[in-house]
Amino acid sequence: MTKGLTIVITGNGKGKTTSALGMLMRTLGHDKKACVIQFMKSPDSGYGEITMMNRLGVENYQAGAGCTWTVSKEDTIETVHSAWELAQHKVLSDGYDMIILDEVNIALSLPEKFEDTVITSDEVIELIKQMRKQFPQRHLVLTGRYALPEIIEAADLVSEINEIKHPYKKGVTAQACIEF
Ligand code: ATP
Ligand code: MG
């Protein structure tokens, strides 16, 4: 038996987004169609994976204005809103085998920072329900730290990546091939 899975990749260790991109590669290798929506990245930020998705013709959108700690609250809320509108549309549109909502867990946890709800977990859970009903073979991947318990509950597969060691603690900054 196969079935579409809702997959959550969370935790404070490195490897959440790249795990989702690994599943994207597999999807493409089976000549299937995917769409990637990145909630927190801006399109011009030099990510190798964005360049490669464009070369491979993978539909991808970056709705983020940048890091939540350098961009204004209003800009972040606006970009998260536009990403969420797009995500809802894509998740319920014909033709996709996999949809990746990268860093959507961060968008869901924004109230902690902003005391403002941008996306609610109820909306995400409702979208998962609708997708399961309309597209039972479709995979949905939700990445980002701080996955909410109710999202974990709603998912079929949840992995938590825990940091054991990271070179940023020794002053090594983000570098090509590893972080972007
Ligand atoms: P990747 O995109 O490499 O799979 P990720 O999606 O698991 O990583 P995020 O939480 O999205 O990780 O963080 C983005 C990047 O920030 C990661 O590539 C990671 O190496 C780096 N990072 C993680 N924790 C810290 C930190 N405390 N300070 C600086 N950089 C960090
Ligand atoms: Mg990430």
The reply to whether 176 falls in a domain is no
The reply to whether 87 falls in a domain is yes
Share in percent of the chain as helix, strand, coil (round to 5): 40, 15, 45
Confidence (pTM) = 0.94
Local structure of residue 117 (DSSP, 8 states): -
Question: Which residue is listed with tokens 């927190």?
Answer: 40
Q: pLDDT at position 74, please?
A: 79
Q: pLDDT at position 124, please?
A: 98
The reply to whether 136 falls in a domain is yes
Query: What are the residue ranges in the chain where pLDDT is below 70?
Result: 64-70, 111-117
Q: pLDDT at position 65, please?
A: 65
Q: How many CA atoms lie within 13 A of 151 on its CB side?
A: 27
The reply to whether 97 falls in a domain is yes
Rounded to the nearest whole angstrom, what is the distance from the C-alpha of residue 103 to the centroid of ligand 2? 6
Local structure of residue 169 (DSSP, 8 states): G
Q: pLDDT at position 66, please?
A: 60
The reply to whether 175 falls in a domain is no
The residues near 109 (Cβ < 8 Å, ≥ 6 apart) are 144, 145, 146, 148
The reply to whether 1 falls in a domain is no
Tokens of residue 21, six digits? 């991109």
Q: What is the mean pLDDT of the chain?
A: 93
Q: How many domains does the chain have?
A: 1
105 lines ligand 1 (CB under 6 A): no
The reply to whether 15 falls in a domain is yes
The model's pLDDT over 45-59, given as tens digits with 9 standing for 90+, comes to: 799 999 999 999 999
Q: Please report, for the domain that includes residue 122, its CATH number.
A: 3.40.50.300
Rounded to the nearest whole angstrom, what is the distance from the C-alpha of residue 17 to the centroid of ligand 2? 4
Q: State which residues form the domain around 107.
A: 6-170
Residue nearest to atom 4 of ligand 1 (CA): 15
Q: Which of 10, 179, 180 to mutate to test the pocket of ligand 1 (most atoms within 8 A of CB)?
A: 179
The reply to whether 62 falls in a domain is yes
Tokens of residue 165, six digits? 């060691």
Work out whether the CA dihedral 46, 47, 49, 53 comes out positive or negative.
negative
Q: What value, to the nearest 5°, has the Cα angle with vertex 54 and ends 74 and 7?
A: 65
**Sheet of 6-10: strands edge to edge?**
59-62, 34-38, 98-102, 139-143, 6-10, 157-160
Rounded to the nearest whole angstrom, what is the distance from the C-alpha of residue 71 to the centroid of ligand 1? 18
Q: pLDDT at position 116, please?
A: 66
